[in-house]
Structure 1
């Protein structure tokens, strides 16, 4: 740390590195910096008096990618030595901002004509969760999103889903269609037999009330799967 000595300050060795990295980012943008350096820029805020380059590299080595670090649960982040409350909060803020940005790409637009934005949003929101979540996108008659809700959160490999609750909520919102989404924390988005069975149960409960199920998307770290695209529904 810098200390006052005879009227001047001895700056720590990392101070110059921080300013050089900030200047490179200001001048050339994110394409000019590596993932660990982008993490450093975030860590500068929560850890102001430490060389954070080793910690940024350790986070990537332990958790995988920049997206996995930012989207990691608090429990996973705490497995990396040096990560405390301030850092976790900053990462959660960045992750929340990324979800808001991704969501803006699909709101007030017909879902079926902006499918890539839907996938981007779902991956941003759910790909790195360590427990299964069952999310429903509720759509109006123009196929625009009127609500986006997590209906259930389960374990690492199972989420209880209640088809009648999905339909009840759709009726409350005056939705005419839904898109079902859930994640596989294992990383593999391949649908299980239970996934297909549950989807058909929701379809059977919704159809008599004029509510369409456009698709069931499964999100994993390794990609996504569409039950409709796979012709499973």
Structure 2
């Protein structure tokens, strides 16, 4: 990356731009956000602008870069081995924040929060995983549980195990989710067949299947919105 002379003024001041009603900054673009994060994690020792260019070229956005799989980050940040675990810590903090949002109150009223959480936790996995959000009768999240981990294009799904866990938790509502490592969230015929099977079994047991999300890289689809359930 060439010779880099640390800039004593490289560390940006705390963000003091406009914020929306939720307290989120609305004026910091992806480049500024990444630069701020990198300078904060490795003040004065990183060729920040070059790394920002590389991260945006590789991942497309600040959000996707900061939630990238550690192996992908290592490939990009090899010259700065300490940065990858630091960003992984940032990612874990963000995931815990997402989980807290999803757990608060009525999970079914926060559709975008659920989608954002699933994107953060699943979109970058290089293998397919199947997870279930178990909700009580008041739409509150009881548990988010991975029920199957597979290969690059399939994960085992056992409806009886899903139902057994739902009964153990006294869950009344299910939200299914799985990722497509290819990045294309279009559901396959087996995805649809499996979902309808779980819906049928759940209905017999008095449990409502609310939705099934398929998560791609930056995109998600909802079976409910597509009219598939």
TM bin (shorter chain): 0.7 to 0.9
Shift of 1:34: 3.6
The question of 1:38 aligning with 2:33 is answered: yes
- Written as runs of structure 1 = structure 2, the 5 A alignment for 1:197-208 is 197-208=193-204
Shift of 1:178: 0.7
The question of 1:120 aligning with 2:116 is answered: yes
- Tell me, in whole angstroms, the C-alpha distance in 1 between the residues paired with 2:190 and 2:125: 20
- Tell me, in whole angstroms, the C-alpha distance in 2 between the residues paired with 1:13 and 1:80: 20
- Tell me, in whole angstroms, the C-alpha distance in 2 between the residues paired with 1:80 and 1:173: 42
C-alpha RMSD of matched pairs (Å): 2.1
With over 3 angstroms needed to count, the CA separation of the structure-2 counterparts of 1:75 and 1:141, relative to structure 1, is: same
Name the structure 2 match of 1:15.
Answer: 8
The 8 Å contact of residues 46 and 86 in structure 1, kept in 2 or not, is answered as: no
- Tell me, in whole angstroms, the C-alpha distance in 1 between the residues paired with 2:79 and 2:201: 46
Q: 1:53 aligns with which of 45, 49, 53?
A: 49
Name the structure 2 match of 1:90.
Answer: 86
Which has the higher mean CA deviation after the structures are superposed, 105-114 or 168-177?
Answer: 105-114
Name the structure 2 match of 1:153.
Answer: 149
Which has the higher mean CA deviation after the structures are superposed, 196-205 or 165-174?
Answer: 196-205
Q: 1:189 aligns with which of 185, 189, 199?
A: 185
- Tell me, in whole angstroms, the C-alpha distance in 2 between the residues paired with 1:83 and 1:156: 28
The 8 Å contact of residues 188 and 222 in structure 1, kept in 2 or not, is answered as: no
The higher radius of gyration belongs to 1
Name the structure 2 match of 1:7.
Answer: none
Q: What do the CA deviations read for 1:173-221 (whole angstroms, capped 9, x no partner)?
A: 1111211011112222111101011112212332222222111111122
- Tell me, in whole angstroms, the C-alpha distance in 2 between the residues paired with 1:125 and 1:52: 26
3-state DSSP of counterpart to 2:127: coil
Shift of 1:119: 1.8
Q: Which has the higher helix share?
A: 1
Aligned length: 218
**TM-score scaled by structure 2?**
0.85
- Tell me, in whole angstroms, the C-alpha distance in 1 between the residues paired with 2:201 and 2:79: 46
Shift of 1:139: 0.7
The 8 Å contact of residues 175 and 209 in structure 2, kept in 1 or not, is answered as: yes
- Tell me, in whole angstroms, the C-alpha distance in 2 between the residues paired with 1:147 and 1:83: 39
3-state DSSP of counterpart to 2:76: coil
**TM-score scaled by structure 1?**
0.83
The 8 Å contact of residues 129 and 148 in structure 2, kept in 1 or not, is answered as: yes
Shift of 1:148: 0.9
Shift of 1:35: 2.0
Q: 2:221 aligns with which of 212, 216, 225?
A: 225
- In structure 2, runs of 5+ residues without a counterpart are 19-24
